[in-house]
Chain A
Amino acid sequence: MTQTPVTTLQIDQLAPQYSEWRRARDSLVKARFPILALIILGLLVFLTIFGPAIAPKDPNRQTLVDRLLAPLQPNTQGQVIYVLGSDVMGRDVLSRIIYGARVSLLVGLAAVMIGGALGTSLGVIAGYFGGYIDDIIMRIADIQLAFPFILLTIMVLVVLGPGVLNLVVVLGVAQWVTYARIARGQTISVRAKEYVEAARSMGASHLEIVVRAILPNIVSPLIVIASFNVASVILSEATLSYLGLGVPEDVPTWGKILAESRDQLLAGKWWLAVFPGVAIMLTVLSLNILGDWLRDFLDPRLRGNR
């Protein structure tokens, strides 16, 4: 009996069609928790997009006679209007949390995009060119790292003043160092690879090499970092809003709702702290769980384990 040699091409043809998307789906189903995290984050995105249509009331509408109603407690006219209760100004807590989701997600994603784009660009430049360019960029990064992050953002916000745009820029700029360090390290590890050398020998420009050969091969760890980073930025936004440095008075955010609850804790108005607190907790937890899963999923060393 003669054996037919099996070529690489034939192996590929014999292997089942197993796309990355299907692999991701199977991995998610197997892990279970990331699915829950995705559902929560999906709900958050839904609230962000359709918030104004869903929120039962204008989040800034005050009804003083309805202030501090507990969840589902009837108001003075005997109507149950405030599902999650009302705050010290008689505003609907549910509506404020729904609108707060918009700010949290917007700030989280926008700041990470700014920080990620800036940090990745500088990190790749530093790693690719090396030498004094690398030294300058990384020393700047070291200087920024020497400042406590929260102190730096507070200082800048005190100067610039509160506002969503200022908040996004400050938090974004504060994140770039993380991305720069990772991008630099990854770039150094791939810049000597054969395919980069091949691109260079074929006359590709620096920009082409970076965009086509390097970036696609270093993006996985950056995506994982970004997923964690969104969570930490949302927490930072909440912290700054809690300190009164986040956004203007008429913009509800989870951190601000939490800050407004401070004076009511001793008075037993638990719903003012619990609901925004739970919203922050679920969002951050979901992003962290998803980040964990993404890290494992994109790690080729763990690929065989799933």
Chain B
Amino acid sequence: MVRKLSFLLIVVLLMTAVMPSLLSAQTPDDTTLVIAQSVDVAGLEPASVNSRAEANIFFHVFATLFEIADDGSLSPYLATAYSISEDGKEWTFTLNEGLTCHDGEALTAEDVAYSFDRAFDPANAFTGNTAGFVFPSIGFQGTRVEDDLNVTIITDRRQSENNRLALISEVYIHCKDSYAAMTLEEAAQNPIGSGPYRLVEWVPDDYILLEAVEGYTLRETAFKTHYWRVIPEASTRVAELIAGNVDVIANVPPDQQAAIDTSGVATVQAVAGTRRIYVGFQFGENFADAPGYEALQKTEVRVALQYAVDVPTICATLLGTQCERASSMVNPPNNNPDLAPYPYDPAKAEELLDAAGYPRNADGVRFETVLMGPRGRYLNDANVVQAIGQYLSDVGVKTTVDIREWADYRQLVGPKEVGPMFFLGTGGGTWSALYDMTDLSSPTAGTNYTNWQNEDWFALWNTLGDVTSPEEEREKINALLDIFYNDPPWLLLYFQPDFYGVSNRLDWTARRDEWIVIYNAKLK
């Protein structure tokens, strides 16, 4: 009796997991590609994009001046060439001729300038990647239209060429007339792009349907339609892939990879990702009354906590792979070779916490704090957050774990309302140390989520524009990373390994930087 009921229970649970998929199941035909991510877009405003999952979709709708590959190589896109002024502060881009936006409007230099200026306009209050990351990183000041095909981007600093070009290549270009005619609310619902795909339909929390733009010449498109589905549950994504309803899924949990590899319909592609996963220590004064805030302001405490977390074990058990702990915010091999990753040494952590003035009390607690984290955004994120909470509690820092659904969590990350400790991952690259470091390009940068104010860092950062040789730049980078290491605003964790489930019918290779660039995917 009990065995029968147990069996019945399992069947019911499996049906619960798979039922939503069955209800919306649609086996894709040869003209349709279906991609499943764990999270939905927050809106359709190109200047508000602030996560890679969103950018993956927007990149297919909006073209950029150049396109960057995960090895750092750049290829022309809307622009064919660029030139740099003598002082290195002004960059002039030459556009292809005959460009149009999806509504048929001609795309000229004026539209490129408008795309930048609109994102920069304080009245619009955009906090996405363009305004929060790209502009502070390049010191954006404005634009100048030279003629129909030439537009100049004006900045306040010199910067390494590759890094600047890569950053500028993250700005989505759209047409002035169509966007000037819409309110911000209307623009957030009606994207009029310049890329190889146009939006057909967005059903929030379900899917986004894109359709290839006829006659688009800048990029080849093998599939007429793209479905970008939102499937928060990892097991449901896996079930959908195995059922043949989805072609690509992101964030395959390690425990379910065998189910995919043995299914005969799909395989797992594992790549060493470049996303920096860390726990941020919040310095913003809006958290001054939060538990543990005062203790976490002390450099000695933040250093001590680095020793408290067993990152290699987290990688081996919860992420299903061996990983070396990060020694900085920079992806290898561009990190400072003199900095060794903090080892797992709880005894040393306790010793340092004692020395910092936080001995254990009668209950064994040094101080209490809260660790916030998301569920469903990063690989096994909620479990990793719980594990970190346990490790911190083990050395006497009683940690309450506060896990929120990503849709709620991301609303707090942008305005820096996460803390006093928070779990986060930010995209990175292997081709430039500075690209990885631009999260902290200024004390007020949108991506300085911890509100870190280290004066030495920002003073040295501001001298990067004066470097005259790669060696000098490297020296400064190492010095910066040394500052970061010794006054850590992050509890350093790992570079996230990425696991994609890919249908056997598809010829597509996953990138290391988490961009799902899939306009060029083909059937085998």
Contacts and interface: CB of A to CB of B under 8 A. Distances in A.
Contacts of B13: 258, 261-262, 265, 273, 277
Interface string A58-82: 0011101101100000000000000
A249 B317 contact: no
Given A249-B403, A273-B10, A281-B9, A266 B383 contact: no
B507 interface: no
25 contacts: A61-B390, A62-B387, A64-B313, A64-B317, A64-B318, A65-B317, A67-B317, A67-B318, A68-B255, A244-B375, A263-B235, A263-B255, A265-B235, A266-B239, A267-B256, A267-B258, A270-B10, A274-B9, A277-B6, A277-B9, A278-B2, A278-B6, A278-B9, A281-B5, A281-B9
Interface in A49-63: 60-62
A250 interface: yes
Contact of B10 (A60, A244, A274, A281): A274
Interface majority SS (helix, strand, loop, mixed), chain A: loop
A182 interface: no
A274 B8 CA distance: 10
Interface string A218-249: 00000000000000000000000000100001
A121 interface: no
Nearest 3 CB-CB pairings of A with B: A277-B9, A64-B317, A267-B255
Given A265-B13, A278-B2, A65 B313 contact: yes
A266 B317 CA distance: 18
Interface residues of A, number: 28
A89 B386 contact: yes
A95 to B, nearest CB: 15
A143 to B, nearest CB: 29
A69 B235 CA distance: 20
B153 to A, nearest CB: 45
A267 B259 contact: yes
A88 interface: yes
Nearest to A66: B317
A261 B12 CA distance: 13
Given A67-B318, A273-B9, 10 more contacts: A64-B310, A64-B318, A65-B317, A88-B255, A89-B386, A262-B17, A266-B238, A267-B258, A273-B10, A277-B6
B234 interface: yes
B300 interface: no
Interface string A276-301: 01100100000000000000000000
Given A263-B234, A277-B9, A249 B2 contact: no
Contact of A278 (B5, B253, B314, B403): B5
A264 interface: yes
A244 to B, nearest CB: 8
Query: Which of A258, A263, A274, A281: most chain B Cβ within 10 A?
Result: A263
